Amino acid sequence: KHIEDYKQMRAQEAAFSTVNLELQQLGTMLRTAVIWGYLKENPAGEIKRLKTAQKEPPYLTQDQVARIYPHCHDWLYTFVTIALNTGCRISEILALKWEDVDFRNGLIKMRSDEEFTTKGRRNREIPINGFLGHVLRKAPRHITNSHIIFTARGQCPDDKLVRKRFYVALKRAGLPHFRIHDMRHTF
């Protein structure tokens, strides 16, 4: 009853998402108190959260996509093209190798193996559209590195470097801050 009263009171003065976060933290504390032996059982049980309106995820508009491309140089251009045209995650794009691209059937094969694991550990095939196919065919290949995305030194960039370059391109294009993951939403 105290928790329900608190929830109703807080809902009058704070955003529902804030109240839900507080309830989640309270639930964690009470469960931990049971584990540590301070309580025999969790007095709150499962605390019901407040319903919140689901926000539309951020995405780039066609105009914003057109504005960012001129500021993406070398491997970042290929990276952004793959991200916008496949919806792949940053780790999936960085793990892509040329052997994963099937130009004949117009597919990119996302596979989990000993080097890389996809989210959910599921293999999948992603269609290659005309623009992505054109960019991939023109993308340079490295003599010793089989990855699609590689730096001028032939090394695979880490996600920190990709983010840094992406944010620089956004700034130069005069665009608001977007996360790389927002390209999945754009796709």
In 15-149, where do the E strands start and end? 101-102, 107-110, 124-127
Residue 172: predicted pLDDT: 96
Mean pLDDT of 162-180: 94
Residue 49: predicted pLDDT: 85
> Within the chain, how many helices (H) and strands (E) appear?
8, 3
Q: pLDDT for 80-95, tens place per residue? A: 999 999 999 999 999 9
Neighbours of 17 (CB within 10 A): 13
Helices 75-86 and 130-138: crossing angle in degrees, nearest 10, is 160
The contacts of residue 65 (CB under 8 Å, 6+ apart) are 84, 186
How, if at all, do strands 107-110 and 101-102 pair?
Answer: antiparallel
CA–CA dist 96, 6 (Å, integer) = 50
Report residue 113's pLDDT band, with 50, 70 and 90 as the boundaries.
confident
Q: Could you tell me what percent of the chain has a pLDDT over 70?
A: 99
* Residue 81 CB burial class (10 angstroms; 0-12, 13-18, ≥19): buried
Q: How far does the chain reach from its first CA to its final CA, in angstroms? A: 45
CA–CA dist 161, 102 (Å, integer) = 28
Mean pLDDT of 148-175: 95
* Residue 12 CB burial class (10 angstroms; 0-12, 13-18, ≥19): exposed
Residue 47: predicted pLDDT: 79
Furthest-apart CA atoms within the chain: distance in Å: 68
Q: pLDDT for 19-74, tens place per residue? A: 999 999 998 999 999 999 999 998 877 778 888 877 788 888 999 999 999 999 99
Residue 124: beta bridge partners?
110
Residue 56: predicted pLDDT: 80
How does DSSP classify residue 97?
B
Q: pLDDT for 129-139, tens place per residue? A: 999 999 999 99
